[in-house]
Amino acid sequence: MYSLIPPLVLLIVLGFISKLFSEELELLNIGMIHLIPILYAAMKLGRRETFIISVASVLSFNFFFIPPTFTFTVHDLRYIFSFSIMIGVGQIVAWLSERAAVAKELETSERLQETLLGSLSHELRTPLTAIMGASSGLLTEGLDLNIEQKKELYHTIDSGARKMQRLIDNLLDTARLQSGMLKFKLQECDIRELLGSALSKTEHTFPATLTINDKIPSIQGDAVLIEQALFNLLENAFKYGDAVNVTIDQDLNKIVTRICNTGSIPPEHEASMAWKAFSRLSNVRGQEGVGLGLYVAYRIAQMHGGSVETMSDGIQFCATMRLPLKGER
């Protein structure tokens, strides 16, 4: 029911303004003003909520402006017709909004399928080629490889397999997030331990600078998913940065994890949208990936009642994840 508060407040404010200028405004204009909260509800809420707001708007219009005022009596049947139109418009716009949302979801799903196929044919080809080349070298009997050369080929196979696994995991996680199939198990989590675990899994060639508030409390969430979100944020920072700084602190009722990197920085106008699905910013051209890592982190944070924001000041790129404290969801 809290979703009804904004349109109801809007109705009250517009009703007050209409009453204040009722002598200058005609009934037709006042009726159009009372359509505004109905249209707002239709575009933001469902048909049921829109119907409630429509009835409230019609009653307000009738009680304060339709003669005889300050009664719900309607002497002219034409107003009944007008009231029906107001309610009908709300339901039609709400229905169209729902159809538009479904169409957008289908478009995203189709784009996901296209990206999946594109990834299988392009993004997986590079690590797969490396794996096949290294394995062929190991299986070729005529090659006299020393221990170091074999070790390098084994490392190539392992690195290629890890890259394929990360890409496939992000694609599958995105599919599960889009379909609502990804469920989470609530438990008490220490964000510092999860960060350490995520750091140990990243293939970074330089250490991150850590600034962690030792007094931050635990949070309640799915430890596996939160660690995955942290890993994705860290991997993105190490992949495009030449220095990574991680800060964990408490801000009111939220635990704030900020991961910043210098190096290859996207433009400021692009950075704020970096968390969107399939985002491939201008600074990542020529790099592997399909733009799903930050999106998966964003959706995982969203599932926990938190958020992920991205920004750039031209010097560094930062991804900030906010998760609510235990009991604050």
CATH of the domain at 198: 3.30.565.10
Q: Which of 9-18, 96-105, 206-215 has the lowest mean pLDDT?
A: 96-105
Tokens for 306, please give them: 């938190």
Domain boundary residue, one of 154, 179, 204: 179
Does 141 reside within a domain? yes
Residue type, 64: F
Domain that holds residue 132: 124-179
pLDDT at 202: 84
Higher pLDDT, 137 or 305: 305
End-to-end Cα, the chain, rounded Å: 17
pLDDT at 271: 83
pLDDT above 70: residue 178 = no
pLDDT digits (tens, 9 = 90+) for 241-279: 889 999 999 988 899 999 999 987 888 888 888 877 666
pLDDT at 116: 56
Does 46 reside within a domain? yes
Same domain, 94 and 168: no
Tokens for 112, please give them: 């996901």
pLDDT at 171: 66
Same domain, 199 and 172: no
Same domain, 15 and 93: yes
Does 192 reside within a domain? yes
User: Mean per-residue pLDDT for 278-303?
Assistant: 70
pLDDT above 60: residue 74 = yes
pLDDT at 230: 94
- Choose the most confident range, by mean pLDDT, from 20-24, 28-32, 189-193: 189-193
Same domain, 193 and 311: yes
Let me know: does 231 contact 202? Beta carbons within 8 Å.
yes
Same domain, 209 and 143: no
Average pLDDT, the chain: 81
pLDDT above 60: residue 286 = no
Domain boundary residue, one of 179, 204, 223: 179
* Number of domains composing the chain: 3
Q: Which of 38-42, 55-59, 145-149, 287-291 has the lowest mean pLDDT?
A: 287-291
Burial class of 316 by CB neighbour count within 10 A (0 to 12, 13 to 18, 19+): middle
pLDDT at 20: 84
Does 94 reside within a domain? yes
Domain boundary residue, one of 68, 86, 101: 101
Does 117 reside within a domain? no
pLDDT digits (tens, 9 = 90+) for 139-160: 777 677 788 888 888 888 887 7
- Measure the CA–CA gap between 148 and 151, rounded to whole angstroms: 5
pLDDT above 80: residue 45 = yes
Same domain, 212 and 155: no
Could you tell me which residues come within 8 angstroms of residue 86 by beta carbon, excluding any fewer than 6 positions away? 31, 34, 35, 38, 54, 57, 58, 61
Same domain, 312 and 244: yes
Does 55 reside within a domain? yes
Same domain, 159 and 229: no
Same domain, 168 and 270: no
Does 138 reside within a domain? yes
Query: H/E/C letters for each residue in 212-249?
Result: ECCCCCCEEECHHHHHHHHHHHHHHHHHHEEEEEEEEE
Same domain, 167 and 269: no
pLDDT digits (tens, 9 = 90+) for 91-131: 888 888 888 877 776 666 666 666 555 555 555 667 778 88
Higher pLDDT, 170 or 155: 155
User: Mean per-residue pLDDT for 48-76?
Assistant: 85
Which phi-psi region, left, alpha or beta, contains residue 291 (left: φ > 0; alpha: ψ -120 to 50)? left
User: Mean per-residue pLDDT for 294-321?
Assistant: 89
pLDDT digits (tens, 9 = 90+) for 216-233: 888 888 888 898 899 989
Name the pLDDT band for 322 (thresholds 50, 70, 90): very high
Q: Which of 70-84, 117-131, 299-313 has the lowest mean pLDDT?
A: 117-131
Chain-centroid distance of CA 202 in Å reads 23
Same domain, 171 and 191: no
pLDDT at 272: 81
Does 329 reside within a domain? no
Name the pLDDT band for 175 (thresholds 50, 70, 90): low
Same domain, 221 and 309: yes
- Measure the CA–CA gap between 276 and 174, rounded to whole angstroms: 11
pLDDT at 245: 94
